[in-house]
Amino acid sequence: MNKVAAIQMNSSESILENLTVAKSLIKEAASNGAKLIVLPEMFPVMGRNATDKVKAKEDMGIGQIQSFISEQASRYNVWIVAGTIPITSSIPHKVRAACIVYNDKGETVARYDKIHLFDVEISENETYQESKTTDPGNELTVIDTPVGKLGIAVCYDIRFPNMFTRLFNKGAEIIAIPSAFTVKTGEAHWKLLARSRAVENFSYVIGACQTGKHVSGRETYGNSLIIDPWGTVLDERIEPTAGIVYAKVDLTKLHSIRSSIPVGKYHKSNKVLSENDRQEKEVRRLSLFSKL
């Protein structure tokens, strides 16, 4: 079994300050035996305005943030799932919220661009329009790592279970979810959704979160956690401060669960049912049309 870690941060508008905090926590996690470390969403910068991340953007493969993570991964001989980094988009006033994975040699081995953007109205006084500054991705990512097959999602993605079914179908055994949940939605839904995605897909879920108040006035929920395929919370950071949670990944246990309750074999038949439903709706539509 291999140990994994989720880092919790209270990121500020200062990239240098955030990288200094991340460096200390990565070193601590590695010294405690973690082989794969997940950083939270927007770990390099949580600015006063949404446009601050656009100002901090880097071209893929070049830049202070990416060089820093590469150096930490190789220095401590660990794999790092680098939360989200603002990467240049083809749209000048937007970025890609890119979750880049580095191996233990510091090499970039995968990238996932956040698909589902946080455009919501939580209350009259709290609204978010992530799509104004972020260009969504459109491809899923599952890669081989020393601790198992890793799928990646980011924050708001967690509300879309079909995405996680697709990650399961692509072989994911562990799903990393860098996040920055609001307090209101986090208190109500974060653990519920994380446990649901773990149980539905009999996968480990590693949730690395932002926590506390940020310079923009936004307050994030924290509660970074690691959940096993049975839905058991193995470790959780309840304190609204920076820190680390740990757990060991037992793939033998995971595949034993998947074997005893083989939900995967029904995914194909569910597609057939969906197709049948579509055909029935089309027949009804044509039948109604013929009566006009």
In the prediction, which pLDDT does 268 show?
56
Section 117-122 average pLDDT? 92
Q: What percent of the chain has pLDDT over 90?
A: 87
Q: Is residue 67 within 8 Å of residue 43, measured between CB atoms?
A: no
The mean predicted confidence, pLDDT, of the chain is 93
Span 76-98, pLDDT tens digits: 999 999 999 999 999 999 999 99
Active site residues: 41, 114, 155
Q: 3-state class of 264 per DSSP?
A: helix
Query: What are the structural domain ranges in the chain?
Result: 2-261, 262-292
The packing angle between helices 191-201 and 161-169, to 10°, is 30
Please state the pTM of the whole predicted model: 0.91
**Burial, 278: exposed, middle or buried (Cβ in 10 Å; 0-12, 13-18, 19+)?**
exposed
**CATH match of 2-261 with 3.60.110.10:** yes
What DSSP state is assigned to residue 163? H
**Containing H/E element for 212?**
strand 211-213
For tokens 């993570």, the residue is 69
CA distance 84 to 119: 17
Span 42-68, pLDDT tens digits: 999 999 998 999 999 999 999 999 999
What number of residues does the chain have? 292
Section 171-181 average pLDDT? 98
- For the chain, the 3-state helix, strand and coil shares in percent, each to the nearest 5, are 35, 30, 30
Span 235-290, pLDDT tens digits: 999 999 999 999 999 999 999 999 999 998 887 556 545 544 555 555 455 444 44
Q: Is residue 41 within 8 Å of residue 33, measured between CB atoms?
A: no
- For 106-198, list the strands marked E by DSSP: 108-113, 119-123, 126-129, 142-145, 148-152, 174-179
Q: Is the pLDDT of residue 220 over 70?
A: yes
How many C-beta neighbours within 10 Å does residue 50 have? 15
Q: 3-state class of 228 per DSSP?
A: coil
Q: Is the pLDDT of residue 194 over 50?
A: yes
Q: Is the pLDDT of residue 148 over 60?
A: yes
